[in-house]
């Protein structure tokens, strides 16, 4: 007998029930992206390794899934090279393609390749899987979907504003209460400038982030440990203790960063984004959070991150503004701003809070029990009408024991069952059973449709 099959570690099958939920997530995000004028693109799963390599750091290069060249991939290789067994060097000889690692690099490649056809600003979204040869662990997979939206070719802060509106709308539709955290790389740069510790920003934000947990004295001690000067620590005090409303925080920052043109620009940008959003009726809270420093080397302006309020889980959405998306492919001057929804974590949050709407699980609404050829023929006539009315309906294909057919209805969560016997055929009606209440009644096809459409 053949060995029991398995799937590669870190990958997943999605069952019908999981797919219904995932589609609900993707469809919700997609429809909001459409409302804001974002347009979908798709790129191939495989990209040239020359496109991917060197874009994600040395570690990232190792985590790329590489695809072996077809045909004779040994051609041009000397015995010596082969026997060197240099796995990473030879990988580039054996392979010229790899699976995409994220959606940003393929998007940059897309913009460069299609620059002549595109009208800027270009607002694109993309929902596709990515692959990373990371060590699999709870909540971390080797294949997972990203749902990105970016606007490129516009410096306007209104793009940041719209992306925050999108985040707010998406999570409102999900019914997930969130806090949208916002920061600005220029504020962080300003902080580094005024304390003369430009390259220590990450150490500083990591320490500041611990204030609630370990208290001011310990934060300062940690900064000292990291080699930050006493003078710099003194200057940082108002920032470490920054609290109050976003307006109060911005007022403090404006004073502290008075000597940094870049820092003040960051304050001004943040102020514009927050004050514009204040008039637009967002349902979720926005919070200026200086400890937010994600992808520091990548972002150049606003930085955002979304935290669920009612579930303990990491960031469920993030993004920010970047310069020079396409410079690495020889096309300068394309800046942009984007967000990425974390579909897997949103899936978990919706599960934990039991927030999936009933309609999202779009299974069969009505099952006809099969009592034989004649009954089936009658049922199929009713089925044609029901489906024309948009009702998702099935006839059990085999005339087997009723118990088995009812188990099928139960296993698939079918809410209504139709029974057609000789009586029903003679009357031209159907016995409709509500599987939840157990209630049964004889109805004409039109009544059945009306009941199901309720």
Closer CB to a copy of itself, residue 73 or residue 298?
73
Shortest approach of a copy of itself to residue 376 CB, angstroms? 6
Any idea which residue has 């300003």 for tokens?
190
Shortest approach of a copy of itself to residue 420 CB, angstroms? 14
H-assigned helices in 53-200: 57-63, 79-83, 87-94, 104-113, 158-174, 185-195
Closer CB to a copy of itself, residue 171 or residue 396?
396
Dihedrals phi, psi of 69, to nearest 5 degrees: -60, 145
**Lookup: tokens for 233:** 């620590």
Shortest approach of a copy of itself to residue 236 CB, angstroms? 34
Shortest approach of a copy of itself to residue 262 CB, angstroms? 22
Closer CB to a copy of itself, residue 5 or residue 438?
5
Instruction: Provide the Cα torsion 205, 207, 209, 215; round to 10°.
Output: -150
Closer CB to a copy of itself, residue 12 or residue 224?
12
Closer CB to a copy of itself, residue 7 or residue 297?
7
Q: Are strands 416-419 and 366-368 parallel, antiparallel or unpaired?
A: parallel
Shortest approach of a copy of itself to residue 69 CB, angstroms? 9
Shortest approach of a copy of itself to residue 314 CB, angstroms? 24
Q: In what order do the strands lie in the sheet with 39-40?
A: 39-40, 122-131, 143-152, 336-341, 317-322, 299-308, 178-184, 285-288
Closer CB to a copy of itself, residue 293 or residue 367?
367
Instruction: Quote the DSSP letter at residue 436.
Output: T
Q: Are strands 393-395 and 366-368 parallel, antiparallel or unpaired?
A: parallel
Closer CB to a copy of itself, residue 31 or residue 352?
31
Return the closest-CA partner of residue 450 out of 430, 436, 435: 430
Q: Hey, is 243 helix, strand or coil?
A: coil
Work out whether the CA dihedral 277, 283, 289, 292 comes out positive or negative.
Answer: negative
Shortest approach of a copy of itself to residue 429 CB, angstroms? 19
């Amino acid at each position: 007998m053949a060995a029991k099959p398995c799937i590669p570690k870190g990958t997943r099958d999605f069952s019908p029930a999981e797919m219904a939920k995932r589609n609900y997530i993707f469809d919700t995000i997609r429809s909001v992206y459409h409302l804001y004028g974002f347009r979908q693109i798709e790129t191939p799963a495989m990209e040239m390794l020359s496109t991917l390599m060197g874009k994600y750091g040395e570690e990232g290069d190792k985590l790329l899934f590489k695809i072996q060249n077809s045909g004779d991939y040994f051609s041009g290789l000397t015995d010596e090279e082969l026997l060197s067994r240099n796995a990473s060097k030879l990988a580039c000889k054996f392979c010229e393609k790899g699976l995409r690692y994220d959606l940003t690099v393929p998007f940059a490649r897309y913009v460069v390749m299609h620059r002549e056809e595109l009208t800027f600003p270009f607002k694109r979204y993309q929902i596709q899987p990515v692959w990373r040869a990371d060590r699999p662990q709870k909540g971390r997979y080797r294949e997972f979907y990203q749902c990105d939206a970016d606007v490129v070719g516009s410096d306007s802060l209104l793009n940041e504003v719209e992306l925050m509106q999108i985040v707010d709308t998406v999570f409102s539709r999900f019914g997930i209460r969130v806090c949208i955290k916002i920061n600005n790389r220029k504020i962080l740069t300003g902080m580094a400038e005024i304390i003369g510790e430009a390259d220590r920003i990450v150490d500083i934000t990591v320490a500041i982030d611990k204030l609630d947990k370990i208290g001011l004295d310990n934060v300062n001690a940690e900064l000292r440990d990291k080699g930050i000067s006493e003078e710099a620590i003194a200057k940082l005090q108002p920032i470490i203790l920054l609290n109050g409303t976003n307006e109060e925080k911005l007022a403090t920052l404006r004073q502290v960063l008075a000597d940094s043109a870049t820092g003040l620009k960051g304050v001004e940008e943040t102020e514009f984004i927050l004050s514009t959003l204040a008039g637009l009726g967002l349902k979720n809270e926005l919070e200026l959070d200086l400890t937010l420093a994600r992808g520091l080397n990548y972002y150049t302006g606003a930085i955002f991150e979304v935290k669920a309020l009612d579930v303990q889980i990491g960031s469920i959405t993030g993004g920010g503004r970047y310069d020079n998306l396409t410079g690495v492919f020889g096309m300068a001057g394309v800046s942009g701003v984007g967000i990425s929804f974390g579909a897997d974590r949103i899936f978990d949050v919706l599960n934990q809070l039991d927030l999936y709407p009933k309609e999202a699980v779009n299974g069969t609404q009505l099952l006809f029990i099969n009592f034989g050829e004649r009954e089936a023929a009658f049922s199929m006539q009713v089925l044609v009408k029901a489906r024309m009315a948009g009702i998702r309906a099935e006839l059990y294909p085999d005339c087997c024991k009723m118990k088995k057919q009812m188990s099928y209805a139960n296993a698939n969560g079918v809410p209504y069952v139709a029974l057609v016997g000789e009586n029903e055929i003679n009357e031209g009606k159907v016995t409709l059973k509500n599987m939840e209440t157990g209630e049964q009644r004889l109805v004409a096809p039109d009544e059945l449709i009306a009941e199901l459409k309720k």
